[in-house]
Structure 1
Amino acid sequence: MAAQPQQTEGEQGASSGSAAAASAIIPEDPALWGSITESAREEMLCKGLAAFQHWAGKYPASRREEKSGNARSLTNDALTRHLHNGECVPQEWIIYSPSTGEIYCFACKVFSTHHGAFIVGFSDWKHPERITEHDMSAEGQYWKDVLKHVVAVIKFLSERGIPFRGDNEHLGSSHNGNYLGILELLAQFDPFLMDNFQKHGQKGHGSTSYLSSTICEEFIGLMGEKTKQAIATELQRANYFSVIVDSTPDMSHMDQLTFVFRFVSETGKVAERFIGFEPIHSHTGSSLADCVIKMVSDLGLDLSNCRGQAYDNASNMSGKYNGLQAQLKKNKPLIHYIPCAAHSLNLVGVNCVENCCREASQFFYLLQALYAFYSASTHRWNKVFTGNITLTLKSLSSTRWSCRGDSTRALRENYAEIRGALQMLASDNEERQDTRREAAALCNKLGKLETALTDVFWDTVLHRFKLTSNGLQQRDMDLMTAVCLLESWHLHYIAKRAIC
């Protein structure tokens, strides 16, 4: 390499001197590279492949051919790959050494730790087909390395339930989602991945990059299928199993059936495995039964080994004559139906209170009104729920009745603070008139003795109700324990009523 001319001016001399020192680290002749450090590898990638190619019109005989007395040398025809469709594509991965007359694979020379022909130098011009063979194998290995990064990111996001997509799929955009965002983060510390982004990223439809959402979804599907096969193997080893099924619409309003299988593992522990969602187009018992039978068959299981089925209390699921449970028991009478105990307990709470007791309905309406009033403004919320207060008001759930215990407990523990804040808001002339009027009405209701007594009563009931409901939903819950839980809850309140 030619020596760099010295500069006379201080700033230019310093800049040029540092550049000359950097360029002296990496010889342009690949035969002179020797051991490649990480800093040298980064500089090679920054310089780019073209800086080391040394392609020319004619090439002298290589060092190997000169020793053997032959005059063979590299030809430009060897630098081109002829595809089956007749197209000629330059094999840009080839770099040439002027000192030895040999060629190297840039990617293998820079990244590989092996000692193949295209790393130590290739000059067997009698067999030029080996160049094309290496091109195909190197290309395959290159994309395998790219896919290893892609698969690692997909596994990371999937295991943690983190969303993949963003508003777009543009590299460099802050709104391209977690999938591309993590790949870009890795590329900052991985020269190989950064080089792939620069070469193949954002080339448009039809070009290969393996970074698109299509590839991502294919891998998610493959991983999901592999997981399903692993679960199927567990179920087959267990032999006997139970099915838990429920229907629910997704965000696109498509109804689907949720499948969970319950079995005893080889270690003797109760296991539950979620299998997936299956779209359904009919809610009749026979249609749902066909869906369950198909799922069991697809997993390679025998429906005759099914010993239990558990659903909610909807008529199409639990119906004695035409429900899903009845349809399955027609052919397999050993598939005993057990209604979901937690769901049944929830229905007891709803029907015994909201549909039968007006005073209880009015109390829970007050709880929801308190939550709506305070949550509508951070100013109001901070007047009560700050400092050491840990329990806060919650919005009442229409499906999980036991969750109302959180609100009754929050009101019971913070009763004085909640009522005191309402009094302050009702008398504060700086507040809006409708705010003062609403605060005064709520404060008046909390000032009644029956409201305080009702809160204490329902907090006691719902606290135990919630503990029972949570216990019934435990994965290792068995029938005997579930029955004992329900009976103890029932007997507990019979005893309390007798004492009162």
Structure 2
Amino acid sequence: MGRCKQKDRERKRAAEGCASMFNFVSKKPRVPDEGSASLVGTSASNDEDGCLHAERSNDDQLKTQSIYTGPQVSSYDIGKVIQATMSHTEIDEAINNMSPGDKYMMLKNHVKPGSDYIFPKTYTGGCYRSFKLSWLQEFNWMVYSQNVDGVFCLGCSLFCTNRSAKGSFVTRPFTAWQKKAEKCREHQSSKYHQEALQLKDEFLSSMEKPAANVRTLLDKRKADNVRNNREVVKAVAETVLYCGRQCIALRGHVETPNEERNPGNFLRLLQLVANHNETVKNHLASPMMKNATYISPQTQNEILDIMGNDFILSGLVTEIKEAKFYSILADEVTSHNIEHMAFCVRFVDRESNIREEFLTFVPLSHTTGVYLAKTILQTIEKIGLDPSNIRGQGYDGAANMSSQNVGVQAEIKKRYEV
């Protein structure tokens, strides 16, 4: 008991020594919150724990006045998001309502007091104590909130998965400065703190390096597959086009690329391309999807169809439209017991060259003059030409084609002045 009384007397003498300080400041009495009083703006020195001794009145209430309001509080202050009166549920809702951009800016631009900032003093543990700026360097996870004069763990405040059982640093500011060393070390060694810091690092990585997050990695893999497939289809299409231009058959005796017997011109040429293209080589050796090899006869026909209709025919129609007037040529041919009509046009191009171009084959169900004339006109309209610009007709001598009464040429003349 004697030592305790002696320490009380020493504290009282120290407080009396500081009492003269209050004669130089403007004082306005106020009622302290819950038995504590706040004093800011004093020039008295702090001890190691940020303690400033001062005199207390007999009724255990100190009459002091805050004389420094500090600089303007930054908008990125976690103390503005987490209020002392908020419940755990309300805090969770407030954090969830923050956009990823707001969280990123909070982490990167949280307010940090300057070296000239004077921290508020709070009477606690027998003396005045305040936050010290050096603590932010000692504990790099810590942020100081000017709004509430307390510190938070910013990572835990934003990314803690279960804050219902958490207190200081997470759901409310830490202000017990006299227990700073003990509580800070206890917090930073906790499991939930380590988990929150990991989540924070992953969040920052996803914001700063979006190519590294899971969704983007999946999208990148998909993009790689699309790029590889396009490269394969391009090689296949160029091989088909080469065979078509050289008027050589595509298919052979077998349809297996590595077959020793003749697999046909198409597959042999594609193997030649694969020798100089790693993507095509890997695709032929082991396609990613067994039902998407792009080398089947069906795919070859589809590519020929696209080339014929979307490129070659489209280009010819454009040239014929530029010439405006043209003549039509048609003849019947039988293939595999099916009647077809070969349809061609004759026109003068922009360089004054007389050209005859094949446009399409048309299957026929009948061979009468009326039906053939109707089919020809429908084909002309289908490919985008104007039948009224026909200036000549050319057929063989068959009655259904050249008859003056029921032939194709007679039926077309009835509709258009050819």
TM range (shorter): 0.3 to 0.5
State the TM-score, normalized to the length of structure 1.
Answer: 0.40
Higher relative contact order (CA 8 A, sep 6+): 2
Larger Rg: 2
